[in-house]
Amino acid sequence: MKKLLLILFILPCLLFGQDFIVDWDGNKIQVKVIEIDTYDIKYKKYNNIEGPIYTVDKRDYIKISYENGTEDVLNINRIKELEKKEEKVQLNESSLINKKTYISLRLLPSIAIFSNLYTDNYKKRISYNYNILVKHEISDIISVNAGLKLFSNKYKTTFTFGDMIDPQSGSIYTESGEEFIEAFYRRLGPHVGASININNKSSISLGYTFLCFNFLKVIQSNDYNNEIFKSRSYSFESISGFDLDFLFNIIDQEKFKLHFNPSINIITDLFPLNTRLVYSVNFNLGLGISFLMTSK
């Protein structure tokens, strides 16, 4: 008699296969699906096949797994929307993590490749670029920077004099000799730029500097009476610099970086006083250091 009752209890479970409906949290509910329409799922509990039919909202479930191994994936559009939202959240978190701000100091000895700014002696002499920049990473690839650049150079020139005027008598006499002029230029101006990371240890940067403040010191002497004249002047000019920088990290830590910094810059007068365009194409090779200021 007991065996008969056990068979009668198991028989409905064998006749009706086992299905699963899965909610958005991944919970599986063991059921026997009766009907699926546009908005609802109708089912009976697997352990109570003879019991009532339950109706649930189709939107609350992600899929139905049937006894034969097949599945119906529900709410495809909603799944895609959730995946897109998750991707956006991950991108936002990534960009927030990688937003860092550095302060950078660079010293770049420079030599003019082509120039008509000054005399030919200028081409033979080394100039110096001093940079102080603040660099802010807006993504893993792109950074922006701003700061100040100081372009420093000097040149010497010599010329021979002949006829001289006596300041007391006003008479003209001939005296051979040479006069020497040594000029020191300091050009200072604001700089802005942007850089792109080539890989984890190198980047390329484009920048513009408005070298508007000019400081000039001139020392003039001669071998006739060994007189020395010194003069200083300050002026506002329209000299501009366009920079192409390459940065290679020798030391690459989060809080400190040491850079090897070759670069090329073009210095020119955007608004020359005459029609002659003045320019100087310079090759720079130097080092830079960067310190982490803030990190989000």
Reported as a single tens digit per residue, the pLDDT across 148-203 is: 998 887 766 665 555 555 555 555 545 555 666 677 778 889 999 999 999 888 99
> Do 88 and 108 share a domain, yes or no?
no
The reply to whether 200 and 160 lie within a common domain is yes
Contact between residue 101 and residue 135 where contact means Cβ atoms under 8 Å apart: yes
Work out the number of other CB atoms within 10 angstroms of the CB of residue 247. 23
Q: What is the pLDDT of residue 162?
A: 53
Specify whether 157 is located in the same domain as 242.
yes
Residue appearing with tokens 């920048």: 207
pLDDT band at 269 (very low <50, low <70, confident <90, very high): confident
Longest Cα–Cα distance of the chain, Å, equals: 152
Tokens read off for 258 = 């040491």
Q: Report DSSP state, residue 140.
A: S
Both 10 and 80 in one domain: the answer is yes
106/41 same-domain check: no
Does residue 195 share a domain with residue 63? Answer: no
pLDDT in tens, 75-117: 666 666 767 777 766 656 555 555 789 999 999 888 878 777 6
Are residues 287 and 203 part of one domain?
yes
Q: Can you give the residue range of the structural domain that contains 137?
A: 100-295
- Under a CB-based contact definition with an 8 Å cutoff, are residues 219 and 227 in contact? no
- Co-location of 86 and 127 in the same domain: no
- Give me the number of domains the chain comprises: 2
pLDDT recorded at residue 134:
95
Q: Are residues 165 and 80 in the same domain?
A: no
Model confidence over 108-146: pLDDT tens digits?
888 878 777 655 444 456 788 899 999 998 888 899 999
The encoded tokens of residue 142 equal: 């792109």
DSSP string, 132-168: EEEEEESSSSEEEEEEEEEEEEEEEEEEEEEEEE-TT
Residues 6+ apart with CB under 8 A from 203: 143, 195, 196, 197, 246, 247
Of 26-40, 46-60, 164-178, the least confident: 164-178
pLDDT at 62 over 80: yes
* CB neighbourhood size of 280 (10 A): 24
pLDDT in the model for residue 93: 57
For residues 81 and 148, membership in a common domain is answered with no
The residue among 94, 116, 143 that closes a domain is 94
Domain shared by 112 and 79, yes or no: no
Neighbouring CB atoms inside 10 A of 265's CB total 21
Q: Which of 34, 69, 94 is the last residue of a domain?
A: 94
The CATH number assigned to the domain holding 18 equals 2.30.30.100
Read off the tokens for 113.
């490749």
How far is it, in rounded angstroms, from Cα 123 to Cα 270?
21
CATH number reported for the structural domain that contains residue 187 in this entry: 2.40.160.20
Pair (221, 261) in one structural domain: yes
Is residue 164 within 8 A of residue 174, CB to CB? The reply is yes
With CA atoms as reference, report the closest residue to 289 among 63, 108, 76: 108
Beta strands 54-57 and 142-165 are unpaired
Residue 185, beta-bridge partner list = 153, 216
Domain termination residue (choose one: 94, 128, 159): 94
| Each residue's pLDDT tens digit, 208-253 | 998 778 887 877 766 555 666 777 888 787 788 899 999 999 998 8
Starting at the earlier edge strand, list the strands of the sheet with 19-23.
54-57, 40-45, 28-36, 19-23, 61-65, 71-73
211 SS3 class: strand
